[in-house]
């Protein structure tokens, strides 16, 4: 009793067998007729295929685009996607922006570098539409004292009030004699009058530094802001520059020109002031551009390696080297047709669908391998005059190839009903490639066989194939026991793997798909660690100021939110009290520096310097003064004595020292006057460039909410996004996008897997009319799927946007091997007899070509494609084990059970 037999308990009897056999016979005749016609008209077939391949490549070169925007892989009709588009419509500079991180230990060098970079980017409006460095806004310098805390401003105004007499004296006499009078007046005061001021010590230090620069021949004007700490805000050691590049989506790489110019600007030595300043370039646009480069480079390398590996495996697996010509012809022409199909069907490739080339190379040869091995098997059996072996091979393998193609196409198209647009595109292209490979096997491969010279090696009778020779190295009973033991072990492992299923997770962060060695990704990691607010904040739109203030208050009350930023966040607090302090100081400060009526001349300058040295020596000796002040006075005295000794006769050097001391004094006095006469800062008079990032042209406000802590896990990011959207339902930003897309893709993966499973069950059930055949076909796949899910947990290889196609594809590909095996088992009327045919060999070669092809993706630096290659390779290996070891044992058990 063979496997083909039926009984009522297993899904059918003679009535079910007859229609299935009749349908199979009709399908066999059709496939045989197509192959024979292609063989008879082989030159015309090759001409038509060559013409179509050329037209396909031309269309792909002219119209096939690559879309590097990962956000477009999700349907734009989803609510969170529409919310993001509304935000971008109001604030377009937020979309595909770049972030420059300028940092160093010297704040002045950092600021100078950031200013130079900002000006360089602004000088290219053709490539960059928005450039903003918030820390460099003139608003912070013009209104600097208002940003101090009230106690800090009180200390500042007290220091300035104490320094006011000195400033008035110097404003009246801005020369060395005026400085001497200043020191003499201080010595006439009680030491306690200077006890609370640090300004004089700073002044001495700044004067000493100016003397040193003049003595070294590189005079540098003295910084008078040191007199009382009047610079206000402390200079930051890290400055961010936000840049919006102009992307040209008509080009293969939309950001190529902008990225090249950005790298040139950053590398320009004129943009840096001093050593130790580092400039990092990251942000969505920068990472997408580098990801495009990584993917295209990796896809090309993977495609070439796939072709070589597949060719090598086929060359070793086929009984004749000449048959490799048919396989390579199918790969080359089929790939060209698949590229043309991609151009006509979807029009563009995304970050995932660029892998279609590797998929076609890995999967396209499977049908040709089964067909060619069966043809070689038939060619050894009389009558073997052409085209009889070809017709018998097509009739024998054609129905199984058709069923395999149909189930694989269904698996690829399983994402079509979902909102995962990116994977849908890959599924459409790959499904087209499967149809091309199936049709090409029966037509193009048959035509090439007609042009190849007949090989005596192909038709020479053989007692046994390689598979059976290796099989008979062990006694039949020992081989059966080993197979049974392995099967039981796989079943036990699958049962134990069930405990890992609840821990299977989906990683929805697209940054985790990118090459971690890429400069922009490394910079993003630094940014995420140091300033997560810049990349993990969400934004909500408000109709105006009142609504924005109300929304900000609600968001601040959330424990998940650490900071809420609106345009009002850039306005100083308690401005009325601070302005009153500055108004009181205005009456004590000089209005301006009096222009000098005459040049005092070299002799008077030398006399003033010597007198100054004496005054400093007296101050240095008086213990009533603070130690720091005495030390600073001594250092200045020593510097002046050394200067007079070396440069005292050099009139130009002495005049340069006076200029270095006083040339920036008018700048100080004018700055102080602006400071004390500062008016209130309001939304209306704030920096327009900064204002535009928070208030749209139509008057809508942007309310930005940053997380209370860095979001390092999917659960934390989801909790933050949900909390914010409960208060602001239309909030958008990276956490909302990432968690929303992750939910979409997770649902899409489950839906696609169920659709693929349902499609496979229906197709196999209709074509075999046997419930037992359906169970046997699906058993190896389900076992491999359970083991694969456990693998993702044990080896921390979570599902992501790129590799979610693995499970539906495993169903489609896995059932192919099952179908071929079952088809041959029904033909041989025994499960074990299949091992003496070419079918196991074809299954092994097909699996090895698929693993070799997908394995090249595993080697690519792009972690998304690499994870796809990893899981597909592991899945195919598990499927091969379950098909060639577990399935024969299940068939034997099924036959024994039916006989019992």
Confidence of residue 693 (pLDDT cuts 50, 70, 90): very high
Q: Say if residue 323 is preceded by a cis peptide, omega within 30 of 0.
A: no
- For residue range 305-330, list pLDDT tens digits in order: 878 888 888 888 888 878 889 989 99
CA pair distance 108, 225, nearest whole angstrom: 14
Query: Which residues have CB under 8 Å from 670's CB, separation 6+?
Result: 592
Mean local confidence (pLDDT), 803-820: 76
- For residue range 200-227, list pLDDT tens digits in order: 788 888 889 889 888 888 878 887 765 5
Q: Which pLDDT score, from 0 to 100, does residue 226 have?
A: 55
Residue whose C-alpha is closest to residue 537's, from 706, 736, 412: 706
Confidence of residue 836 (pLDDT cuts 50, 70, 90): low
Average pLDDT for the chain? 83
Q: Are 732 and 538 a contacting pair, CB within 8 Å?
A: yes
CA pair distance 389, 387, nearest whole angstrom: 6
Task: Average the pLDDT over each of 258-262, 352-356, 463-467 and give the range with the smallest value.
Answer: 463-467
Q: Which residue has the higher pLDDT, 231 or 596?
A: 596
Q: Which pLDDT score, from 0 to 100, does residue 489 have?
A: 94
Residue 559 scores a pLDDT above 80: yes
Q: At what angle do helices 284-317 and 356-379 cross, to 10 degrees?
A: 10
780 CB neighbour count, 10 Å cutoff: 26
Residue 191 scores a pLDDT above 70: no
* Partners of residue 99 on adjacent β-strands: 242, 282
DSSP string, 140-192: HHHTGGGGS-HHHHHHHHHHHHHHHHHHHHHHH--SHHHHHHHHHHHHHS-GG
Q: Which pLDDT score, from 0 to 100, does residue 2 have?
A: 36
- For residue range 129-146, list pLDDT tens digits in order: 999 998 888 888 778 788
- For residue range 867-898, list pLDDT tens digits in order: 888 998 898 889 888 887 888 888 788 877 77
Q: Tally helices (H) and strands (E) across the chain.
A: 34, 10
- For residue range 326-351, list pLDDT tens digits in order: 989 999 999 999 999 999 998 888 76
CA pair distance 749, 808, nearest whole angstrom: 8
Maximum pairwise Cα distance, the chain = 128
Q: Which pLDDT score, from 0 to 100, does residue 544 have?
A: 94
CA pair distance 364, 335, nearest whole angstrom: 9
Q: Which pLDDT score, from 0 to 100, does residue 171 have?
A: 84
Q: What is the 3-state secondary structure (H, E, C) of 822-857?
A: HHHHHHHCCCHHHHHCCHHHHHHHHHHHHHHHHHHH
CA pair distance 487, 483, nearest whole angstrom: 6
Q: Which residue has the higher pLDDT, 760 or 28?
A: 28
Instruction: Please give the DSSP secondary-structure letter assigned to residue 253.
Output: S
Q: Which pLDDT score, from 0 to 100, does residue 233 have?
A: 52
Mean local confidence (pLDDT), 588-593: 80
Residue whose C-alpha is closest to residue 377's, from 362, 397, 352, 361: 397
Q: Which pLDDT score, from 0 to 100, does residue 7 have?
A: 37
Q: Are 841 and 804 a contacting pair, CB within 8 Å?
A: no
Residue 243 parent element (H or E): strand 238-245
* Identity of the highest mean pLDDT range in 228-237, 275-284, 712-721: 712-721
Confidence of residue 466 (pLDDT cuts 50, 70, 90): very low
Residue 174 scores a pLDDT above 80: yes
Q: Which pLDDT score, from 0 to 100, does residue 332 have?
A: 92
Residue 8 scores a pLDDT above 80: no
Look at residue 320 and give its three-state secondary structure.
coil
CA angle in degrees (0–180, nearest 5) for 361-362-367: 90
- For residue range 92-133, list pLDDT tens digits in order: 999 888 999 998 888 888 888 999 999 999 999 999 999 999
Residue whose C-alpha is closest to residue 225's, from 144, 307, 313: 144
Q: Which residue has the higher pLDDT, 233 or 859?
A: 859
Q: Which residue has the higher pLDDT, 835 or 169?
A: 169
Residue 854 scores a pLDDT above 80: no
Confidence of residue 250 (pLDDT cuts 50, 70, 90): low
Mean local confidence (pLDDT), 788-805: 89
Confidence of residue 456 (pLDDT cuts 50, 70, 90): very low
CA angle in degrees (0–180, nearest 5) for 52-56-62: 145
Confidence of residue 198 (pLDDT cuts 50, 70, 90): low
Q: Are 10 and 774 a contacting pair, CB within 8 Å?
A: no
Q: Say if residue 387 is preceded by a cis peptide, omega within 30 of 0.
A: yes
């Amino acid at each position: 009793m063979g496997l083909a037999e039926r009984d009522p308990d297993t899904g059918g009897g003679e009535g079910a067998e007859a229609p299935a056999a009749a349908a199979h016979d009709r399908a066999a005749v059709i496939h045989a007729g197509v192959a024979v016609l292609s063989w008879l008209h082989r030159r015309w077939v090759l001409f038509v295929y060559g013409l179509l391949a050329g037209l396909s490549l031309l269309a792909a070169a002219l119209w096939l685009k690559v879309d590097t925007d990962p956000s477009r892989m999700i349907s734009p009709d989803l609510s969170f996607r529409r919310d993001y588009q509304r935000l971008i419509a109001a604030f377009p500079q937020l979309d595909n922006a770049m972030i420059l991180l300028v940092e160093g230990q010297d704040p002045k060098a950092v600021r100078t570098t950031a200013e130079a970079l900002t000006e360089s980017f602004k000088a290219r409006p053709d490539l960059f539409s928005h450039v903003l460095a918030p820390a460099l806004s003139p608003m912070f310098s013009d209104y600097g004292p208002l940003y101090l805390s009230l106690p800090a401003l009180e200390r500042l105004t007290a220091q300035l009030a104490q320094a006011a007499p000195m400033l008035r004296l110097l404003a009246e006499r801005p020369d060395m004699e005026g400085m001497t009078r200043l020191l003499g007046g201080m010595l006439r005061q009680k030491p306690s009058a200077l006890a609370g001021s640090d300004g004089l010590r700073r002044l001495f230090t700044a004067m000493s530094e100016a003397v040193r620069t003049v003595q070294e021949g590189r005079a540098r004007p003295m910084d008078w802001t040191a007199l009382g700490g009047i610079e206000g805000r402390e200079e930051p050691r890290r400055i961010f520059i936000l840049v919006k590049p102009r992307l040209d989506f008509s080009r293969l790489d939309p950001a190529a020109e902008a990225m090249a110019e950005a790298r040139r600007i950053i590398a320009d030595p004129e943009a840096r002031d001093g050593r130790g300043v580092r400039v990092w370039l990251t942000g969505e646009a920068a990472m997408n551009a580098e990801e495009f480069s990584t993917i295209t480079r990796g896809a090309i390398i993977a495609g070439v390696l796939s072709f070589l590996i597949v060719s090598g495996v086929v060359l070793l697996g086929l009984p004749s080297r000449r048959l490799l010509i048919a396989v390579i012809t199918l790969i080359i022409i089929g790939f060209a047709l698949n590229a043309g199909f991609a151009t006509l069907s979807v029009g563009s490739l995304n970050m995932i669908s660029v892998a279609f080339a590797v998929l076609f190379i890995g999967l396209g040869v499977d049908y040709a391998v089964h067909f060619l091995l069966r043809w070689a098997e038939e060619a050894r059996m009389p009558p073997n005059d052409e085209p009889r072996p070809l017709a018998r091979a097509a009739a024998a393998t054609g129905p199984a190839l058709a069923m395999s193609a149909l189930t694989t196409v269904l698996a690829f198209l399983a994402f079509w009903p979902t909102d995962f647009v990116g994977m849908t595109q890959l599924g459409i292209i790959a499904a087209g490639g499967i149809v091309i490979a199936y049709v090409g096997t029966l037509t193009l491969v048959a035509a090439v066989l007609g042009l190849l010279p007949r090989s005596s090696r192909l038709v020479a009778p053989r007692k046994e194939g390689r598979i059976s020779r290796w099989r008979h190295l062990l006694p039949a009973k020992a081989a059966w026991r080993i197979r049974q033991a392995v099967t039981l072990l796989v079943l036990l492992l699958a049962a134990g793997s069930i405990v890992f299923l609840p821990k299977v997770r989906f990683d929805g962060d697209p940054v985790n798909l990118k090459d971690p060695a890429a400069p922009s990704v490394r910079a993003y990691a630094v940014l995420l660690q140091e300033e997560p607010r810049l990349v993990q904040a969400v934004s909500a739109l408000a109709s105006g100021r009142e609504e924005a203030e109300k929304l900000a208050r609600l968001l601040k009350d959330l424990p998940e939110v650490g900071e809420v930023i609106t345009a009002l966040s850039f306005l100083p607090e308690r401005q009325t009290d601070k302005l009153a302090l500055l108004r009181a100081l205005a009456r004590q400060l000089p209005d301006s520096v009096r222009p000098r009526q005459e040049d005092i001349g070299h002799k008077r300058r030398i006399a003033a310097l010597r007198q100054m040295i004496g005054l400093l020596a007296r101050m240095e000796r008086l213990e009533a003064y603070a130690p720091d002040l005495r030390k600073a006075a001594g250092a200045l005295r020593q510097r002046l004595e050394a200067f007079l000794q070396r440069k005292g006769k050099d009139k130009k050097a002495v005049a340069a020292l006076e200029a270095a001391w006083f040339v920036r004094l008018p700048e100080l006095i004018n700055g102080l006057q602006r400071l004390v006469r500062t008016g209130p800062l309001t939304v209306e008079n704030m920096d327009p460039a900064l204002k535009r990032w928070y208030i749209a042209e139509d008057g809508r406000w942007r309310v930005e909410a940053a997380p209370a802590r860095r979001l390092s896990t999917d659960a934390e990011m989801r909790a933050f996004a949900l909390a914010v959207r409960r208060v602001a339902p239309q909030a958008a930003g990276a956490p909302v996008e990432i968690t929303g897309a992750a939910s979409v893709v997770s649902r899409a993966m489950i839906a696609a897997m169920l659709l693929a499973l349902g499609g496979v069950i229906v197709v196999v059930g209709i074509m075999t009319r046997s419930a037992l055949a359906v169970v046997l076909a699906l058993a190896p796949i389900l076992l491999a799927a359970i083991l694969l899910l456990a693998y993702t947990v044990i080896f921390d290889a979570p599902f992501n946007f790129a590799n979610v196609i693995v499970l539906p594809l495993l169903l489609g590909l896995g059932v192919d091997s099952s179908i071929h095996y079952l088809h041959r088992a029904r033909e041989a009327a025994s499960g074990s007899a299949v091992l003496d045919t070419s079918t196991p060999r074809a299954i092994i070669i097909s699996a090895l070509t698929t693993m070799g092809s997908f394995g090249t993706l595993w080697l690519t630096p792009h972690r998304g494609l690499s994870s796809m290659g990893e899981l597909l390779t592991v899945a195919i290996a598990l499927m091969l084990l379950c098909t060639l070891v577990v399935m024969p044992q299940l068939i034997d058990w099924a036959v024994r059970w039916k006989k019992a």
